[in-house]
């Protein structure tokens, strides 16, 4: 037995929470226009309470031209009419709190929309003006400044600079409709702190910070000859050790200066926590940063509370690789007293049942075209259920992306003319992009649009096969993915697994991830995940609490199955 993590001694909610990601345009549509909205979300919150999660995180619902599905914010203090009104947001927050759910909202501080009043003012003003000084406007290189100021590429493909009519260029790490703010400008800092206060006053419990590693750029904006891999980028293949290559380096990412910003935001949150439960509000970093020791810097005691563990998400289907990622995660995060987090899917990556059904299981293409080799749907779901079951047993906090509780696969046959992801366009159609993981959820098998909308309209078409995945087709059905998630979340809660310690167990084949987890004073559970190709023997006398697939009953654990055993 090798102990890699001690039980948690503190009890703030974000140390152990299971947080469900709602992608507002695709969760539930209240008004029938085919795009999900806040009233639709509010009406479906009981589904999340019944599922057994602790919190919801909502991707952006702010006023936006929707060039990057809302990650292009035109007004941080208003709701986009597509999604409703501020009163609808208040009602959603209140309903969630009534149901015992915390609410985390998305904050997009690296860039605004090009339709934000600040950027419009910058375009109207002269080079060198204070209006331009809120963004990263620069003169170009070469004769007449016709070349961009440096060689940076957008994460979505293409150059990271766009020229304006007077000849200057502005930086956009993402789409040209998403100009980067200049975080050395005190006005920018003051504005976003005020935005934090605006939403804290409305009662939110935390913020997920978009591109948290990108706000500060290296002084002088030097050329960069590496990749800008983050949310998109063709998977380079299968490294032999089961680990993807490191991401998040270069002069545009993970600069030391970002941390001072997070310390100041933390002070803003603490203003609201004074007198209440200590640190009841949380900041979560979306920081694609490796190694994990660099990621841990975002969650030091006076900075954020959590950071997404993308090293876990990008680990290939290999037991040794998972053991290594998990061990390194606890080592790095325990060193700063922060909870580990675990995530397998979100709105930026191919859904994990499909990733795990690829020839290189767990690899990460930026979307899948109908003409690409297709994932094995049955094998992928079997592995996805096994992966989820060991993820939900890991001490710390876990993220569940909407629809994964239904076992939804990626939509891999979307017609190209319905695609909206800017990365599809900016890679000149070389990469399918992220639309396939953003398809409206199936709620009711027999209803038009699978019950997503009262009119049956859906902003992206749903695959015909999704009727079988609809929530109503799985509720109460033994062995369904929905019931597996419900059972796992209930047991995780009753056994206090989120607050557990973790020890690797000896005596199992290398292909088995085997650990015991138990909170202080609890018995906990033994977890075995067989990532190999042949069945392995269960320990003598083992009592199975939960299994990700039917067990043969002969005392063995089949390939691609996880079990929780009585400890
Ligand atoms: C990360 C978000 O998750 C992604 O959806 C978005 O496109 C980029 N940041 C840019 O905001």
Q: What crossing angle do the helices spanning 38-51 and 86-98 adopt, rounded to 10°? A: 10
* pLDDT over 80 at 237, yes or no: no
Same domain, yes or no: 124 and 92: no
| Cβ 404 vs Cβ 432: under 8 Å | no
Tokens coding 218: 């290296």
Determine the pLDDT at residue 246.
Answer: 66
Among 315, 307, 311, smallest CA distance to 341 is for: 307
Residue 322 and residue 452 in one domain: yes
What is the four-CA torsion angle of 94, 98, 101, 103, rounded to 10 degrees?
Answer: 10
- Domain boundary residue, one of 446, 481, 516: 481
Is 290 a known active-site residue?
no
Q: What is the pLDDT of residues 80-101, one digit of tens each?
A: 999 999 999 999 999 999 999 9
Q: One of 72, 205, 210, 318 is an active-site residue; which one?
A: 210
275 part of a folded domain: yes
pLDDT band at residue 243 using 50, 70 and 90 as cut-offs? low
Which pLDDT band holds residue 249 (cuts at 50, 70, 90)? Answer: confident
Q: Is residue 319 part of a domain?
A: yes
DSSP code string of 110-148: SB--TTSHHHHHHHHSPTTSTTGGGBTEE--BSGGG-B-
Distance CA 275, CA 278 (A): 8
Residue 532 token pair: 């190999």
Q: 97-117, pLDDT tens digit by residue?
A: 999 999 999 999 999 999 999
Check: pTM over 0.95? Answer yes or no: yes
233, pLDDT greater than 50:
no
Length of the chain: 567
The pair of three-digit structure tokens given for residue 70, joined into one six-digit string: 């809302």
The per-residue pLDDT for 159 is 95
Closest-CA residue to 97 (of 35, 134, 45) = 45
* pLDDT tens figures, 544-564: 999 999 999 999 999 999 999
pLDDT exceeds 50 at position 236:
no
428 and 302 together in one domain: yes
Query: Sign of dihedral through CA atoms 538, 543, 547, 552?
Result: positive
Dist. CA 505 → ligand 1 center (Å): 38
| Domain end point (choices 447, 481, 515) | 481
The answer as to whether 533 is a domain residue is: no
Same domain, 159 and 195: no
Same domain, 299 and 410: yes
CATH of the domain at 154: 3.90.400.10
Residue of 23, 61, 71, 399 to test ligand 1 pocket, by largest number of atoms within 8 Å of CB = 71
CATH number, domain with residue 88: 3.20.20.80
Q: Kindly report which listed range (13-22, 246-255, 496-505, 514-523) carries the lowest average pLDDT score.
A: 246-255
What is the pLDDT, as a whole number, of residue 226? 77
Greatest extent of the chain over all pairs of C-alpha atoms, in Å = 79
- pLDDT tier at 230, thresholds 50, 70, 90: low
Lowest mean pLDDT among 37-51, 271-285, 497-511: 271-285
DSSP for 143-180? GGG-B-SS--B-TTSSBSEEE-TTS-EEE-SS-TTSPB
Query: Is residue 241 over pLDDT 60?
Result: no
**Is the CB–ligand 1 distance for residue 231 below 6 Å?**
yes
Residue 265 CA to ligand 1 centre (angstroms): 20
Asked which of 2-11, 48-57, 123-132 is least confident by mean pLDDT, the reply is 2-11
- Domain coverage including residue 266: 11-110+186-217+252-481
Average pLDDT of every residue of the chain: 95
Q: Are residues 161 and 213 in the same domain?
A: no
Percent of the chain topping pLDDT 70: 96
CB atoms within 10 A of CB 34: 17
Residues 269, 383, single domain; the answer is yes
Asked if the model's pLDDT at residue 234 lies above 60, the reply is no
Over residues 350-408, the pLDDT tens digits come to 999 999 999 999 999 999 999 999 999 999 999 999 999 999 999 999 999 999 999 99
95 domain-assigned: yes
Inter-residue contact 88 to 79 (CB < 8 Å):
yes
Q: What average pLDDT score do residues 478-492 get?
A: 98
Is 381 inside any structural domain?
Answer: yes
The reply to whether 21 and 140 lie within a common domain is no
* Co-location of 283 and 164 in the same domain: no
pLDDT of residue 152: 95
**Atom 4 of ligand 1: nearest residue by CA position:** 348
Q: In what order do the strands lie in the sheet with 161-163?
A: 137-138, 169-171, 161-163
Asked whether residue 411 carries a pLDDT value surpassing 80, the answer given is: yes
Whether 231 is in a domain gets the answer: no
At residue 333, does pLDDT exceed 50?
A: yes
Task: Read off the pLDDT band of 231 (50, 70, 90).
Answer: very low
Looking at the structure, do residues 259 and 377 belong to the same domain, yes or no?
yes
Burial, 143: exposed, middle or buried (Cβ in 10 Å; 0-12, 13-18, 19+)?
exposed
- Residue 149's nearest CA partner among 131, 161, 157 is 161
Domain presence at residue 149: yes
Most informative mutation of 68, 105, 308, 347 for ligand 1 (most atoms within 8 A of CB): 68
* pLDDT for 232 beyond 50: no
Report yes or no on 496 lying in a domain: no
Render pLDDT for 166-225 as a digit per residue (tens, 0 to 9): 999 999 999 999 999 999 999 999 999 999 999 999 999 999 999 999 999 999 999 998
Residue 404 catalytic? no
Q: Is the CB–ligand 1 distance for residue 348 below 6 Å?
A: yes
| Helix (H) / strand (E) containing 96 | helix 86-98
The verdict on the CB of residue 210 being under 6 Å from ligand 1 is yes
Residues 124 and 210 in one domain: no
Does 122 share its domain with 23? no
Number of structural domains in the chain: 2
């Amino acid at each position: 037995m090798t102990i890699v993590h001690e039980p948690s001694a503190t009890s703030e909610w974000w140390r152990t929470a299971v947080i469900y990601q709602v992608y507002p345009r695709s969760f539930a549509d209240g008004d029938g226009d085919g795009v999900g909205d806040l009233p639709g979300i509010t009406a479906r919150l009981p589904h999340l309470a019944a599922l057994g999660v602790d919190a919801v995180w909502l991707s952006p619902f702010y006023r936006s031209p929707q060039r990057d599905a809302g990650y292009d914010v035109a007004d941080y203090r208003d709701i986009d009419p597509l999604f409703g009104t501020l009163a609808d947001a208040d009602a959603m927050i209140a309903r969630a709190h009534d149901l015992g759910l915390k609410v985390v909202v998305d904050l997009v501080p690296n860039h605004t929309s090009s339709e934000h009043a600040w950027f419009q003012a910058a375009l109207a003003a002269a080079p060198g003006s204070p209006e331009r000084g809120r963004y990263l406007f620069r003169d170009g290189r070469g004769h007449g400044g016709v070349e961009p100021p440096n060689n940076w590429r957008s994460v979505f493909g293409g150059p990271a600079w766009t020229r304006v009519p007077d000849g200057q260029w502005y930086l956009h790490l993402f789409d040209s409709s998403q100009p980067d703010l200049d975080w050395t400008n005190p006005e920018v800092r003051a504005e976003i702190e005020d935005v934090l206060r605006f939403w804290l006053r409305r009662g939110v419990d935390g913020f997920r910070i978009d591109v948290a590693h990108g706000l500060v750029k290296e002084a002088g904006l030097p050329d960069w000859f590496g990749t800008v891999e983050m949310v998109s980028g063709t998977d380079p293949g299968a490294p032999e050790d089961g680990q993807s290559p490191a991401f998040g380096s270069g002069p545009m990412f993970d600069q030391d200066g970002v941390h001072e910003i997070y310390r100041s935001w933390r002070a803003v949150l603490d203003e609201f926590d004074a007198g209440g439960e200590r640190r009841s509000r949380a900041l979560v970093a979306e920081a694609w940063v490796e190694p994990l020791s660099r990621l841990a810097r975002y969650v030091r005691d006076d900075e954020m509370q959590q950071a997404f563990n993308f090293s876990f998400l990008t680990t290939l289907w290999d037991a040794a690789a998972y053991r290594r990622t998990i061990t390194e995660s606890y080592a790095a995060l325990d060193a700063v007293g922060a909870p580990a987090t675990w995530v397998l899917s979100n709105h930026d990556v191919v859904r994990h049942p499909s990733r795990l059904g690829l020839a290189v299981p767990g690899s990460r293409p930026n979307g899948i075209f109908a003409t690409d080799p297709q994932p094995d749907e049955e094998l992928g779901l079997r592995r996805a259920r096994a992966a989820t079951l060991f993820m939900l047993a890991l001490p710390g906090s876990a993220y569940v992306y909407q629809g994964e509780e239904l076992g939804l696969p990626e939509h891999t046959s979307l017609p190209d003319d319905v695609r909206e992801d800017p990365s599809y366009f900016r890679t000149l159609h070389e990469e399918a992009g992220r639309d396939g993981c953003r398809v409206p959820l199936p709620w009711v098998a027999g209803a038009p649009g699978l019950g997503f909308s009262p009119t049956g309209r859906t902003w992206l078409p749903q695959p015909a096969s999704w009727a079988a995945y609809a929530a109503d087709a799985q509720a109460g059905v033994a062995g369904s993915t929905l019931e597996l998630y419900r059972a796992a979340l209930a047991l995780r809660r009753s056994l206090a697994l989120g607050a557990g310690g973790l020890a690797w167990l000896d005596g199992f084949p290398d292909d088995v991830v085997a650990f015991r987890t138990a909170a202080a004073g609890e018995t906990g559970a033994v977890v075995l995940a067989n990532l190999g190709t042949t069945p392995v023997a269960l320990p003598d006398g083992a009592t199975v609490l939960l299994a990700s697939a039917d067990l043969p009953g002969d005392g063995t654990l089949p390939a691609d199955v996880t079990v929780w055993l009585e400890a």
